[in-house]
Amino acid sequence: MTPRVTLAVAGRVLAQLRRDHRTVAMLLVVPCVLLALLWWMFDGNAGIFNSVGPPLLAIFPFIVMFLVTSVTTLRERSSGTLERLLSMPMGKADLLLGYALAFAAVALAQSLLAVGLTVGALGMDVQGSVLTLTVVSVLNAVLGTALGLFVSAFAETEFQAVQFMPALVLPQLLLCGLFVPRDALPAVLEAVSDVLPLSYAVAAMREVQAASSWTSDLVLDVSVIGGSALLALMLGAATLRRRTA
């Protein structure tokens, strides 16, 4: 791994994104619009908004980054630039970390806006600091990026890549505790939700909301999210082959 190369990749991904004004606008504005819509739906009922808001702050960056990353990396695979890069003195980790860094930067901007809106303007009640909320939110986005990088290896077209969203993300959304508390799920589903990373993302957000300090539960949840992202990146590295058939 070479920091020069990692940063070159991150800079390049951001330069590409900067050209795509529509995508940048969607990345930054859509989560805010959805959160505002949610607040409006539960007009005046601060209790419901307070209970649904934090999980959605975890889920939006996760989903958006998953989609953007899987399509972007697939494009790199199919355009021949990936083969070219791998024939150059570039480590696989440089490529993956470069992508992760670039999208983490985008996620930071996205999270700052979403957290600012919900906590500042819409009055979401959070005991923990805004900083912690943002950190957890960015970490969730990195998890989405890492999973997106990994699944892009199994898609041959952008159509297929987009289909991985309902296939891999929606089950996590259903089982993460947003609709039914996880301990109230049937035993089998609870066990399944125990191994799905999004469950920990949502739990972490709720921890930040409920407590003003880093509880041991929060530390555990954050470690699981970080560990899952790292694992997905390593699996992603395994799918990058310098030699292909």
Partner 1 sequence: MANKSPAVDISHLRVVRGGRTVLPDLSCTIPPGQVTGLLGPSGGGKSTLIRAIVGVQKVQGGTVEVLGQPAGSAALRRQVGYVTQAPSVYADLTVTENLRFFARVLGARTAAVGTVLDQVDLGHYADSLVGRLSGGQRSRVSLAVALLGEPQLLVLDEPTVGLDPVLRRDLWALFHDLAAKGRTLLVSSHVMDEADRCDRLLLLRDGQVLAEGTPHALREATGADDIESAFLALINRVGWQPDRQNGTPVRTRDKEVAP
> Which CB atom, from 72 or from 145, has the smaller least distance to partner 1?
72
Name the nearest CA neighbour of 184 among 193, 172, 197.
Answer: 193
- Please, which residues have CB within 8 angstroms of residue 199's CB and are 6 or more apart in sequence? 172, 175, 176, 177, 182, 193
Least distance in angstroms from the C-beta of 125 to partner 1: 42
> Which CB atom, from 80 or from 186, has the smaller least distance to partner 1?
80
Helix axis angle, 92-115 to 130-151, nearest 10°: 140
> Which CB atom, from 109 or from 242, has the smaller least distance to partner 1?
242
CB neighbourhood size of 29 (10 A): 12
Least distance in angstroms from the C-beta of 85 to partner 1: 7
Task: In whole angstroms, give the CA distance from residue 140 to residue 146.
Answer: 10
> Which CB atom, from 20 or from 156, has the smaller least distance to partner 1?
20
- Give the footprint of partner 1 on this chain (CB under 8 A): 4-5, 8-9, 11-12, 15-16, 19-20, 79-81, 83-90, 242-245
Q: Are 226 and 139 in contact (CB under 8 A)?
A: yes
Least distance in angstroms from the C-beta of 2 to partner 1: 8
Least distance in angstroms from the C-beta of 124 to partner 1: 37
